[in-house]
Amino acid sequence: MCHLQALKKFYAGFCRLEELIALLLLAGITILVFVSALMRYIKMPLNWAQDVALVAFAWMIFTGSDVAIRGSGLIGIDIIAKHFPAGVRKSLDIVFKVIIMAFLCVLVVNGYTMTLTSWARQITTLHISYGWVYLSVPVGALLMLISTAIKLVERVRTPAGQEIAHEEGRDLA
């Protein structure tokens, strides 16, 4: 049991770090794009700024998506589902999470393949591989897969009709 507590503590710390990284990437992109526009206006463009923003944006999207999945911040249409009995809503939620996990597995595999095939291609202004951009896909999908698996286990363990504490008002059941 002690190992499980340590794992939960590590995961909570990792989640906080991931949220911080997503926030810093968003702030950095915002500042970089603003400064780049100003520099372009005064005829001193930052040629590398667009490429840095591209890399940061790719990583921000996939880390931010995992943060959204953990917090149930994704769009859901429950107008029909809320009319079903609690047991049906729970079953639907489980099925949807399994479908999401299958899709994320496809993203991990194809993202990994995409990363390998693009590794030789260079981002000219940064002198780094395009693989670093594409690597955000399998890494982010793997993080989302882990988060969805955790939510699936919580959903299965939670009785029908009872909401999971961190999902109140946002879950199907």
What tens digit of pLDDT does each residue of 16-50 get? 999 999 999 999 999 999 999 999 999 999 999 99
For all residues of the chain together, what is the average pLDDT?
89
Q: Is the pLDDT of residue 146 over 90?
A: yes
Q: What's the confidence (pLDDT) of residue 163?
A: 73
pLDDT digits (tens, 9 = 90+) for 76-118: 667 777 788 989 889 988 999 999 999 999 999 999 999 999 9
% pLDDT > 90, the chain: 73
The model carries a pTM of: 0.86
7's CB contacts (< 8 A; 6+ apart) are: none
Asked if residue 119 has pLDDT above 70, the reply is: yes
pLDDT at 77 (0 to 100): 66
DSSP letter string, 21-73: HHHHHHHHHHHHHHHHHHHHHTT---TTHHHHHHHHHHHHHHHHHHHHHHTT-
Q: At what angle do helices 49-70 and 2-41 cross, to 10 degrees?
A: 150
Q: Residue 74: what pLDDT?
A: 64
Residue whose tokens read 């286990």: 153
How is residue 158 annotated by DSSP? S
Contact 164, 150 (CB under 8 A): no
Angstrom distance (rounded) from CA 27 to CA 53: 11
Instruction: Find the radius of gyration of the CA atoms of the chain.
Output: 20
